[in-house]
Chains A and B, each alone.
Chain A
Amino acid sequence: MDMVSVDMKKLNGLLNRAVIDVITTMTGFDVEDDPDCSQFAEFESVETIIGVMAVFGSIDAVVALATDINSSKLIVAYMTGIMPTDLTDEDVHDGMAELVNMLVGRVKADLVREGLDLSITSPFSISGTNIEMVFKDRENRICRRFIAGDVEMFLSVAKI
């Protein structure tokens, strides 16, 4: 059977919608999205956490969701019902990985319903300051910024 391909625009569109829906549902905040990711550079100077997952099948891509550590605590607090001050580092890491897992899992479900094929890898997260994450193909990369109250996030999708 020939594999039907998905283009980056469609994958990105589905992920954008998933981010907005999931964050709105969890936090109750209105989510604005912005294609301008130029603020990511200053964002990298603070402690950052990035949830990462790879997908392959109808499209091969890496999905990364980055936010500052305080925003991630707020998001994970909404996800778990635990106060941000009571969250351990492990809770925050698990929460960010789970958030990416939820987003990509939702997109996978959408695509599978359309008869497409998508495998997903285990999610993982990375934290630290001034983290630089590099993908080999710099051309096929889409970044989008999301703002929800005090939470600011960057979604990056890189096709490989």
Chain B
Amino acid sequence: MDSLYKPFIESTANIIGQMTGLHIDLSDQVCEEGQEISSLGVTSIVTFAGVRRGRFLIDMVPELAIKITNNITGVEYKDVREYDVLTSIAELNNIIAGDAITVLNDELKLSLRLAPPIVLCGKEPIISIPKLSSVTIHGSSDHGDLKINIAFEKEG
């Protein structure tokens, strides 16, 4: 199972570092997650399908979402609900997931295709993915916490 999750974990730290210059410290611990995930504030979800179906979620505090956007765009945004902030996080998710599934497709021949990313923010959102067990990896940065969550449907 590790071979399915590892590309997402590596891509997250690498791509955020490359695109924003921010260091993300991801935990070594992979936590089994229940069906419901409480958001830290800004969440982007990308689903994929192929030989297996699954979903990759990146979730972060609003302060970190703004800092990431500011570093990518060079513009000083203040409000996490601004369109450019939310779409920057969606695009970041798309790039991370795209990088990870390229590795999975090359190594495991899963023929995965990414669906368009969705990004959301709100007051204490809960995201629920029925019948899909997942793992969460918590992370931190100088601008607040983030977590990633990866799920694959069981084979067969």
Contact of A121 among B49, B83, B90, B130 (CB under 8 A): B49
B residues contacting the other copy or chain, number (CB 8 A): 37
Assuming the contacts A62-B115, A132-B120, asked whether A122 and B54 have C-beta atoms less than 8 A apart, the reply is: yes
When the two chains form their complex, are residues A97 and B121 in contact, meaning their CB atoms are under 8 A apart? no
When the two chains form their complex, are residues A126 and B117 in contact, meaning their CB atoms are under 8 A apart? no
Interface status of A128 (Cβ within 8 A of chain B): yes
Q: What chain A residues lie within 8 Å of B17 (beta carbons)? A: none
Cα A132 to Cα B122 with chains together (Å): 6
Q: What chain B residues lie within 8 Å of A122 (beta carbons)? A: 47, 53-55, 129-132, 151, 153
Q: What chain B residues lie within 8 Å of A54 (beta carbons)? A: 47, 115-116
Q: Mark B112-138, 1 if CB is under 8 A from A, else 0.
A: 010111111111111111111000000
When the two chains form their complex, are residues A127 and B115 in contact, meaning their CB atoms are under 8 A apart? no
Assuming the contacts A133-B118, A134-B120, asked whether A56 and B125 have C-beta atoms less than 8 A apart, the reply is: no
A62-B118, A158-B116 are known; give 15 further A-B pairs, CB within 8 A. A97-B128, A98-B130, A122-B153, A124-B129, A124-B130, A125-B127, A126-B127, A129-B122, A131-B123, A132-B86, A132-B121, A135-B118, A136-B116, A136-B117, A160-B116
Interface residues of A (CB under 8 A from B): 52, 54-56, 60-62, 89-90, 93-94, 97-98, 119-136, 138, 158, 160
A-B contact pairs, 26 of them (CB 8 A): A54-B115, A56-B49, A56-B113, A89-B36, A93-B36, A97-B129, A119-B49, A122-B55, A122-B129, A123-B130, A124-B45, A124-B47, A124-B127, A124-B130, A125-B127, A126-B120, A126-B127, A128-B123, A129-B122, A131-B125, A132-B121, A133-B118, A135-B116, A135-B118, A136-B91, A136-B116
